[in-house]
A and B are shown apart, each in its own frame.
Chain A
Amino acid sequence: MEVNSYRPVDHCFDEMMRTRTAPRAAYQKVREWLAAADPASLDLRRREAEILFMRIGVTFAVYGEGGDPERIIPFDIIPRVINGREWDLIARGLEQRVRALNQFLVDVYSKCEILHAGVIDTDLVLRNPAFLPEMNGFTPAGGVFTHVAGIDMVRVGEDEFYVLEDNARTPSGVSYMLEDREIMMRLFPDLMAAHKVAPVEHYPTELLTTLKSVAPSSGGADPTVVVLTPGMYNSAYYEHTYLADRMGVELVEGQDLFVDENRVYMRTTRGPQQVDVIYRRIDDDFLDPLTFNPNSTLGVAGLIGAVRAGHVTLANAPGAGVCDDKSVYIHVPEMIEFYLGEKPILKNVPTYRCGREADRAYVLDHLDELVVKEVRGSGGYGMLVGPHATKAEQAAFAERIKADPDEYIAQPTLALSTSPTFVDQGIAPRHIDLRPFVLMGAKGVSIVPGGLTRVALREGSLVVNSSQGGGTKDTWVLLEEPC
Chain B
Amino acid sequence: MDISIHHTTRYSYATPATHTVQHLRLTARDNAGQRIARWRVIGNGRDDLPVHTDAFGNIVRTLTMSDPHHELVVEVVGEVRTEDHAGILKGVDETMPAAMFSRTTALTAADNAIRDLATPIAPAVTKDAVDAAHQLMNRVRDAVAYVTGETDSDTTAAAALAAGAGVCQDHAHVMITAARLLGFPARYVSGYLAGEEVGEIYEASHAWAELFIDGLGWVGFDAANRVCPNERYVRIGCGLDYRGAAPIIGIRRGAGAESLTVEVAAMPMGEQNQSQDRRDLSERPNSS
Contact = CB atoms under 8 A, between A and B. Distances in A.
A126 B185 CA distance: 12
Nearest to B249: A290
Grouping DSSP codes into helix (H, G, I), strand (E, B) and loop, the B interface class, with mixed when no group exceeds half, is mixed
Contacts of A258: 19, 21, 66
Contact of A135 (B55, B57, B243): B55
Nearest to B49: A261
A393 interface: no
B21 A122 contact: no
Contact of A308 (B53, B103, B243, B250): B53
Interface in B56-98: 56-57, 60, 62, 64, 66, 95-97
Nearest to B23: A290
* Interface size bracket, B side: 20 to 34
B250 A290 contact: yes
A305 B96 contact: no
Contact of B251 (A115, A135, A289, A309): A289
Interface string B2-46: 000000000000000001011100000000000000000000000
Interface in B203-253: 240, 243-244, 249-251
B23 A302 contact: yes
A137 B102 contact: no
Contacts of B149: none
A137 B64 contact: no
Contact of A290 (B56, B66, B103, B251): B251
Contacts of A260: 64, 66
A136 interface: yes
Interface string A348-390: 0000000000000000000000000000000000000000000
Nearest to B97: A112
A301 B251 contact: yes
Contact of B97 (A115, A261, A301): A115
* Interface size bracket, A side: 20 to 34
Given A123-B99, A302-B21, A309-B50, A136 B66 contact: no
A262 B51 CA distance: 8
B47 interface: no
A133 B250 contact: no
Given A112-B97, A301-B251, A133 B102 contact: no
Nearest to A115: B97
A41 B55 CA distance: 61
The 8 closest A-B pairs by CB, nearest first: A136-B55, A262-B50, A309-B52, A301-B21, A302-B21, A126-B100, A301-B251, A137-B95
